[in-house]
Amino acid sequence: MRVLLVTDYFYPQSSGGTEKYVYELAQALRVDGIDVIILTISYSSASYQYDQFDVHTIPPNTDNSKTVIAGVIPANNLQSFINKLSELKANVVHFHTLTTSISTYHYQAAKQTGAKVIFTSHIPGNTCLRGDLMRYGKEICDGKVRLNTCLSCYLNARGLPKSISPISAKIMRVLKQPPLLSQASSIKKDHLEKIKTVCSTIVTMSNWQQDVFLINAFNPGQLNLSRHTFKQISNQQEAKASDHITIGFAGRISPEKGLHILMEAFKQLDTTRFTLLIAAIKVPAENKYLETLLSESEDSPNIKWDYNYTPDNIGSFYKQLNVLCIPSVCNETGPYVMFESIARHIPVIASNLGGMREWAGLNYPVTTYQYDDSEALAKLLNNLPAYPNTKFNYPPQRTQTDLAQEMIAVYNK
């Protein structure tokens, strides 16, 4: 069996949760004898090898017209993708991103080759027009695409006051003006219908994702729950001989990751007892947000920034921690850093959204707080014992072997 894993992002060009997931899935499938190849987006047309995996590339979309960005017409790299499909002749095409450069048109092209098409949904933006599954940015949404409500919420995210966004959405949809913006929720619904038609299986990593697909009328038999796994760490974390507590944050520096909430909480703590260590991934589009946080932390010597962590040296970051904090203000499927932390027996304090809430309920060392309440977060941090990672009975951990076996069953279904 030849399996093509398709992702907009992959090493060494970028480093995030989706990249790690695809890489570790590829490793596990290879151990089980599956012929695995990877396809990603790159400005360089050359294919390359990463850890002995063949990584094929297609160029990114370069047509920035509104109809392409909205997904009404395909990206101008679709023919390159079709050519790669013809060259690689995969039995299974397993998509891990849904973007302008890899859209539902690419899914349809894969289906037309006769390959089985699988989609693993990694982020709420795959089903949510706003991108975070937070209605008006304030409350958890059930994820059902309601044409007027979703457009209203989207307009609010773009700056329109909530007091007038509902009536504005209704008027825009009736008048169909502006042509694309007024139809944004209809376009999102159409994308979901295409996924439902083209994909034999949609893989979800959490119950909340399954609920979103079900409420949008997906067939329950089309959904496969496969939770995140833990890459086994040979030496689990040992408690450090110090009363000083180091709090870690790792991830992209963008508003939905909630680092501003953590920094607000940290400033309420006795900094003689605490250090905040940030393993930052810069997001060019969010430079203003990063600059604001850097400015706010200038007078806080115990807030330390580092941008140089890679998959090869991230262990040195975790070795410094007593606790990892995940202050996301959007629904996450994991996130991946939570599993990296748990695998090292480092406890997690996280907002009560999405996958974080679910893993707390599965008896893992995840403590949650109200996602927008920096005072509640500060209280949890302030009450931490000096050695928080020594006081928990860790349940069995899912491994990459478990994931590979589940995916092979999906491929053979």
pLDDT tens readout for residues 265-294: 999 999 889 999 999 988 888 999 999 999
User: What confidence tens digit (pLDDT) does each residue in 169-219 have?
Assistant: 999 999 999 999 999 999 999 999 999 999 999 999 999 999 999 999 999
The pTM (predicted TM-score) of the whole model is 0.89
- Give residues with Cβ within 8 angstroms of 313, minimum separation 6: none
pLDDT number for residue 289: 97
pLDDT number for residue 238: 56
User: What confidence tens digit (pLDDT) does each residue in 283-330 have?
Assistant: 888 999 999 999 999 999 999 999 978 777 888 999 999 999 999 999
Which two three-digit tokens encode residue 410? Answer: 């999906």
Query: What are the backbone dihedrals phi and psi of residue 48, each rounded to the nearest 5 degrees, phi first?
Result: -155, 175
Q: Which amino acid is at 363?
A: N
* pLDDT averaged over every residue in the chain: 92
Nearest by Cα to 133 from 198, 187, 213: 213
Nearest by Cα to 259 from 335, 367, 169, 357: 335
One fold for 2-120+199-229+402-412 and 245-390: yes
Q: Where are the beta strands (DSSP E) in 253-365?
A: 274-281, 303-306, 323-326, 348-351
Number of C-beta neighbours around residue 209 at 10 A = 27
Q: Which amino acid is at 167?
A: I
What's CA 265's distance to the chain center, in Å? Answer: 24
pLDDT number for residue 218: 98
Handedness of CA 38, 41, 47, 51 (dihedral sign): negative
pLDDT number for residue 309: 83
pLDDT number for residue 369: 96
Element (H, E) at 320: none
Q: Is 101 left (phi over 0), alpha (psi -120 to 50) or beta?
A: alpha
Query: What are the backbone dihedrals phi and psi of residue 213, each rounded to the nearest 5 degrees, phi first?
Result: -65, -40
Nearest by Cα to 350 from 337, 375, 367: 367
What's CA 183's distance to the chain center, in Å? Answer: 26
The answer to whether 59 touches 41, Cβ cutoff 8 Å, is yes
DSSP assignment string, 151-209: HHHHHHHTT--TTTHHHHHHHHHHHT-STTGGGHHHHHHHHHHHHHHH-SEEEESSHHH
Instruction: State how far the Cα of 347 lies from the Cα of 210, in Å rounded to an integer.
Output: 26
How do the domains of the chain map onto residue ranges? Answer: 2-120+199-229+402-412, 134-182, 245-390
The answer to whether 161 touches 186, Cβ cutoff 8 Å, is no
Half-sphere exposure of 80 (CA within 13 A, CB side): 21
Under CATH, which number does the domain 245-390 receive?
3.40.50.2000
> CA-CA distances (angstroms) from residue 144 to 128, 180, 217, 333?
9, 21, 9, 17
Instruction: State how far the Cα of 266 lies from the Cα of 302, in Å rounded to an integer.
Output: 10
Q: Give start and end residues of each alpha helix (H) in 49-164.
A: 66-69, 78-88, 104-112, 147-157
Average pLDDT over residues 241-265: 91
Q: How confident is the model at residue 260 (pLDDT cuts 50, 70, 90)?
A: very high
User: What confidence tens digit (pLDDT) does each residue in 383-410 have?
Assistant: 887 556 555 666 777 889 999 999 999 9
Nearest by Cα to 237 from 227, 246, 228, 250: 246
Which two three-digit tokens encode residue 189? Answer: 């619904």
Instruction: State how far the Cα of 382 lies from the Cα of 278, in Å rounded to an integer.
Output: 18
Helix (H/G/I), strand (E/B), else coil: 380: helix
Q: Which CATH architecture describes the domain 2-120+199-229+402-412?
A: 3-Layer(aba) Sandwich (3.40)
Average pLDDT over residues 58-62: 96
Residue with tokens 């009450």: 383
Number of C-beta neighbours around residue 167 at 10 A = 11
Instruction: State how far the Cα of 222 lies from the Cα of 199, in Å rounded to an integer.
Output: 8
